Chains A and B, each alone.
Chain A
Amino acid sequence: MISLLIAIPLLLAFVSVMWKRLAKPLFFLAAVTNMTVLLASWFPNSVEIHVMGSWKPPFGINLVFDNASFYAALVVNFFFFLVSLMPNLVESYGVSLMLLMAAANGFVLTGDLFNSFVFMEIMTITAVTVASRRENFYNAFKYLILGGIAGSIYLLATIFAYTATGSLNMAHVSMATISASSLVAITTLYAIGLGVEAKLFPLNGWVSGVYGGNDLAPVILGTSVSFAALYMVGRLFGTVFHGSGAGVLYTLALITIIIGEVAALRQQNLLKAFAYSSVAQAGVVVAMISKGTSRAMGLAYFHLTNDAVAKFVIFLVAGFLVYNYKNLNGVFKKHKVLGASFSMATFSLVGFPLFAGFQSKLRIIMELFSMKDYLFPAVMLLATLIEVGYVVRWNVKLWFEEETDEKADNPIVAGTLALILSLLLVAVFIKPEIFLGGAMKMGNALADTKDYIHGVLSVVKGGM
């Protein structure tokens, strides 16, 4: 059943290669199906695996479906579903999006290291295609090069893991005892390899170019794909390597937070500014994951979910504005609904009360204090301070500056979606359980290695 998540988009992608005009409805179909599949199997609360070709784990490739991968897949597919509702965004990228969807789902669900490499590479290649929209070729190319290097390093790490443990199955690898020096090599290489997709400093040079280059890329890459990538960070460093190498991640993540916010502060381009902000938020999440406890990881993904929803709204609105107006001053006077949702989303990003970001940020800080980590909260609050600066600046610019004569039609679907999502952010503030429950289950699943190993290696269910 779960393998449908990968199979259907893949299949439909190939179908739509032949009938190009069908790409848009097929993408919608794929998204709906995936959502249906996911909703049908709401929170498995146990580790289910789906073996491929009757190879019992640790042999062969298997898909793992537990709370963590379920929640990640849910978020990933949710955003694909939202994108599929907006035909003008999907325009001639239906195939790429379907492939990206398949790859992201595969990346999330797979229980095999090498398979995850394969999915990551497909993800990179399709993401590059998506990134090249609106003639953003050079930046897409840069992304490709960086993704390629990262892929090689990830592959290298996988091979090291294989030579050290003799297995590629994540559960099996996590059981094995690995010599300290190999572990260092493996985790470092994984950190670097994933760092590109997880937007860790200094491997995130591609972000501004890709996110700032068109209106589709940030909407989907900044939400679904980065969620998938950050899920893998949690899976590898939380479940498989038991927190080894977390120090590297922690340090890099803290630097990332500051660097991201500082770079966002000076940015004059709306999309790029929030691209950097998403760099910084990724830093927060990675640093939180590197803490390794189930609560910390749960909060990290809670924060990531809030951030993804907010970012989706922000990039949606920003993309619309940037490609319809030359001068952004005071545009929200003409698009009040877009403006209101944008403002709510940005305030959620900062963590003002009444919005979801408040819940996650404060919980994270509280959790850190209870872990006696005094540095990270300080860094985070400093970052938030910088964030306040540019968020307020953008809001003021977009709402209050003198407007120009340019006109554009109100995008009805996008506006409705943005409004609903930003109201969702308010709802999450009032009732954080909407996201928090799932995120905490995800955190538990990621941190609970024993259960994972047990689930993967001894129970065999389903199959294809």
Chain B
Amino acid sequence: MVYIISIILVGIGVYGLMTQKNLFKHLISLSIIDTAVNIFIVATGYVNGGKAPIYTKNFPSFAIGRFVDPLPQALVLTAIVIGVGTLAVGASLLVRVKEKHSSIDVENMKGVGE
């Protein structure tokens, strides 16, 4: 289910990138793809019926396979941070693009040769 959501989100992101004329929408689409991947990562860590991997008293009674994998969550944190960084750099670039080319719409930008 979660996989499907992330696939749909990737699809939305790709669709957005491919069809939108507005550069900011591209950035948003990219962010959606990031999010989709992040959801996917979190989903892979989940073990059906698993418990949170917290060291408790009755720890040994769990079988090893019953843990939810904690690592993906850690990874996702990093990935989100990076995604935000990308978004920020992209947004700041767009401000300058707007200044230079007087628009952030692909079709209305001026002075984009070659």
Contact = CB atoms under 8 A, between A and B. Distances in A.
Q: CB–CB under 8 A between A and B in the complex?
A: yes
Interface of A: 114, 117-118, 121-122, 124-125, 128-129, 132, 135, 137-138, 140-141, 144-145, 147-149, 151-152, 155-156, 159, 162-163, 168, 208-209, 212, 269, 272
A159 B41 contact: yes
B86 A125 contact: yes
Contacts of A149: 17, 30, 33
Interface of B is mostly: helix
A125 B85 contact: yes
A129 B101 CA distance: 18
Given A121-B82, A137-B93, A141-B90, A152 B41 contact: no
Contact of A163 (B30, B44, B86, B89): B44
B82 A141 contact: no
A407 B71 CA distance: 60
A159 B72 contact: yes
B26 A145 contact: yes
A118 B40 CA distance: 17
A155 B37 CA distance: 8
B112 interface: yes
Given A124-B86, A137-B96, A159-B37, 6 more contacts: A121-B86, A135-B100, A137-B93, A147-B86, A152-B33, A155-B37
Contacts of A272: 114
Contacts of B41: 155, 159
Contacts of B97: 137-138, 141
Contact of B93 (A121, A141, A156): A141
Interface pairs A-B: 7 shortest CB-CB: A137-B96, A121-B82, A137-B97, A148-B30, A141-B93, A152-B37, A163-B44
Given A121-B82, A159-B40, A159-B41, A129 B89 contact: yes
A159 B30 contact: no
A140 B27 contact: no
Contact of B37 (A132, A156, A163): A156
Contact of A141 (B34, B71, B94): B94
A407 B111 CA distance: 27
A351 B79 CA distance: 43
A144 B90 contact: yes
Contacts of B100: 135, 137-138
B30 A121 contact: no
Nearest to A124: B86
A247 to B, nearest CB: 25
Contacts of A122: 82
12 contacts: A132-B96, A135-B100, A137-B96, A138-B109, A141-B94, A141-B97, A144-B89, A145-B17, A151-B86, A159-B44, A159-B72, A159-B75
Nearest to A143: B93
Contacts of B12: none
Interface in B2-38: 17, 23, 26-27, 30, 33-34, 37
A212 B113 CA distance: 12
Interface string B37-59: 10011001000000000000000
Contacts of A151: 82, 86
Nearest to B44: A163
B35 to A, nearest CB: 10
Given A125-B86, A135-B100, A145-B17, A114 B75 contact: yes
Nearest to A121: B82
A132 B26 CA distance: 18
Contact of A145 (B30, B44, B72, B109): B30
A155 B96 CA distance: 29
B108 interface: no
Contacts of A155: 37, 41, 79
Contacts of B96: 132, 135, 137
A118 B114 contact: no
